[in-house]
Chains A and B, each alone.
Chain A
Amino acid sequence: TQLLEQSPQFLSIQEGENLTVYCNSSSVFSSLQWYRQEPGEGPVLLVTVVTGGEVKKLKRLTFQFGDARKDSSLHITAAQPGDTGLYLCAGATGTASKLTFGTGTRLQVTL
C-alpha cells in the first residue's frame, strides 16, 4: 500500500507569515499533484509536477518535486486568509491516473 504522509497535519499562522507543507512517501510516483479543498467542496487542482527536482511557482505558492520523485513540498509566501483550507498532495503511478491522496494539511491563516 502506498502511503503519502503530510506534515504538519494542522497549521495555524498569521497573515504575512511563510509556511512549508511536506508530502513524503517511500514509493516513487510518476507525477504528484497538489490540491486545495474548502469545507463542503471538492478538491481543486493547484499544480502537477512530473519531473524529479521540478519546481513550479503559482503566484505565492512554490511547489517542488523531490529528485527521487518520492516527496514534494509546498511553500507559501506571505500567507493570506484566502489561503485557508485543506491542502492535499496526491501521487499517481503509471498511466492509470489512479491517485493516492496524502493525509492532508489543514491550514488556517488569521488576520
Chain B
Amino acid sequence: GAVVSQHPSWVICKSGTSVKIECRSLDFQATTMFWYRQFPKQSLMLMATSNEGSKATYEQGVEKDKFLINHASLTLSTLTVTSAHPEDSSFYICSATGSWDTQYFGPGTRLTVL
C-alpha cells in the first residue's frame, strides 16, 4: 500500500513553454501533498505544501506564479512550471500523506529545459 505515482517520468521542453507534472496517490487518499526539487548530487528541497481544496503554501524563495500547484482531489496534485527556463531543469519529486504523518514519495520527474 501507500503508492505514489508521477507522470511523466521525464520531459524535455523548449525554453518558454509550460510543463505540467502529475502526482497521484494510487491506493489512499492524500490530504496533503508536497513538492520537492532536487538538483544533481544534492538533497531534496521543499518547494510547497498543498492541501486538497486549498491554496498551496510555498517555501521562501519559491515563486508561486512560476510553479503553479493544484490539488483538486484527494488523489491528485499537479505542478505546472510556467515559462520554463534552463535553470528550472531539475528532478521534481512529490510526496503524499494520508491519515498518518509518514510521507510516501513518488518516483520523480526529470525536467530538462533546452
A101 touches which of B32, B43, B106, B107 (Cβ 8 Å): B43
The listed residue with most A CB atoms (<10 A of its CB), out of B34, B41, B43, B102, is B43
Q: Is A31 an interface residue (CB 8 A)?
A: yes
Of B44-52, B62-70, B74-82, the one contacting chain A is: B44-52
Give min CB distance, B107 to chain A, whole Å: 5
A-side interface size class: 20 to 34
A99–B103 CA distance with the chains assembled, in angstroms: 9
Check A42–B105 contact: CB distance below 8 A. yes
Instruction: Tell me whether B108 and A88 are in contact (CB under 8 A).
Output: no
Are A104 and B42 closer than 8 Å at their CB atoms?
A: yes
Contact check: which of A95, A101, A102, A106 meets B101 at CB < 8 Å? A95
Known: A42-B93, A92-B101. A99 touches B46 (CB 8 A): yes
Q: How far is the CB of A31 from chain B (nearest CB, A)?
A: 7
Q: What does the 1/0 interface line of B22-60 toward A look like (CB < 8 Å)?
A: 000000000010101000011111100100000000000
- The total of chain B residues at the interface (CB under 8 A) is 25
**B43 x A102 contact (CB < 8 A):** yes
0 or 1 for each of B80-106: is its CB under 8 Å from A? (1 = yes): 000000000001010101000111111
Q: What are 27 of the A-B contact pairs (CB < 8 Å)?
A: A31-B101, A35-B105, A40-B108, A41-B108, A42-B4, A42-B6, A42-B93, A42-B105, A42-B108, A43-B44, A43-B93, A44-B105, A45-B102, A45-B103, A45-B104, A88-B43, A88-B44, A90-B44, A92-B101, A95-B101, A97-B103, A98-B49, A99-B34, A99-B46, A100-B46, A101-B36, A101-B45
User: What 4 A-B pairs come out closest when comparing CB atoms?
Assistant: A42-B105, A97-B101, A104-B43, A101-B44
Question: Which of B's residues lie within 8 Å of A, judged by CB?
Answer: 4, 6, 32, 34, 36, 41-46, 49, 91, 93, 95, 97, 101-108, 110
